[in-house]
Amino acid sequence: MNPLGILAGGGPLPGRVAAAAVAAGRTVFIVGLEGFAEKPVLAPYPHDFARIGAAGRVIELLRANRCAEVVMIGKVRRPSFFDLRPDGYGFKLIARVGRSVFSGGDDTLLAAVVKVLGEEGFRVIGAHEVLTQALAPKGVLGRIGPDAVAMGDIARGVAVARALGGVDVGQGCVVQNGLVLAVEAIEGTDAMLTRAGALRRGGPGGVLVKIAKPGQERRADLPTVGPVTIANAAAAGLRGVAFEAGGALLAEREASVAAADAAGLFIIGIDPTEF
């Protein structure tokens, strides 16, 4: 098989996708996005770097390394159109998809990227197709489960997150005793949790709820929960984390569950259609 191309943002997940592909007998080539991808994560594998706006270089690197399939994975802080600094090829792509995609939400932009890569001859696949064990399962995963109050907060969180996703804003929110403490927008989950911690009320802590957006491009930006999420949820005084079963990535499952147990948090995979 041709090498798997990995378009890498920040965090450890690009390395885990690469390791899973190699373990399955496949070679990889990683294009790290400058300012986001972490050199130690990419170092064990063939790789190079490109600016996020240098679309021509990204495609040139993927083609030069015979990549037919591409995974997009890792944290990226979305630039504005004026910060993008596209190369010549990037300008052509923007003309093709329209500048308006930059004024929409993340899913609008990522869907355009997937479309362009497809038109350029690449097959974009989801990280979950490589990390086959990473999709979050349904049910309580640790020693602690949610009580009736927490389940009410989860239901409220699902409704709020569904509304947010419907307008392509974010994938999650924090709810405490029915009150929405924070919603996720461009700042991301970790920053949202910090804000929620400063707004918490007395009594039992709130719940982080993360679900995929309705109609989301699932090959590019599935909700992700990992040990860092758990640590930040604990620091914010939350009592649990709920995420979409089969629609979210649970990075480092054992470590995430262990961190939740140690912090006294519940961690649960849910089916949003049941709420």
Last residue of a domain, one of 64, 95, 129: 129
Question: DSSP letters along 166-188, please?
Answer: HTTS-SEEEEETTEEEEE--TT-
Here the CATH number for the domain that contains residue 175 is 3.40.140.80
Last residue of a domain, one of 129, 162, 178: 129
Which residues in the chain come in under a pLDDT of 50? none
Structure tokens at 91: 């300008």
143 and 260 inside one domain: yes
13 and 80 inside one domain: yes
Judging by beta carbons within 10 Å of its beta carbon (0-12, 13-18, 19+), is residue 31 exposed, middle or buried? buried
Domain that holds residue 164: 139-274
pTM, two decimals, is: 0.79
Here the CATH number for the domain that contains residue 122 is 3.40.50.20
98 and 197 inside one domain: no
Question: Is the Cβ–Cβ distance between 247 and 126 less than 8 Å?
Answer: no
53 and 83 inside one domain: yes
What is the pLDDT at residue 154? 98
158 and 205 inside one domain: yes
254 and 192 inside one domain: yes
162 and 110 inside one domain: no
Question: Would residue 197 count as lying in a domain?
Answer: yes
124 and 21 inside one domain: yes
Q: Say which residues have a Cβ less than 8 Å from residue 121's Cβ, sequence separation at least 6.
A: 68
51 and 113 inside one domain: yes
Question: Torsion over CA of 111, 113, 116 and 117, rounded to 10 degrees?
Answer: -110
DSSP reduced 3-state for 63? helix
Cα distances from 155 to residues 146, 165, 252, in angstroms, run: 12, 15, 26
What is the pLDDT at residue 79? 66
Q: Say which residues have a Cβ less than 8 Å from residue 108's Cβ, sequence separation at least 6.
A: 101, 168
How do residues 72-119 score in pLDDT, each as one tens digit? 988 887 666 666 677 777 777 767 666 555 555 555 666 777 788 888
268 and 162 inside one domain: yes
245 and 184 inside one domain: yes
Last residue of a domain, one of 94, 129, 164: 129
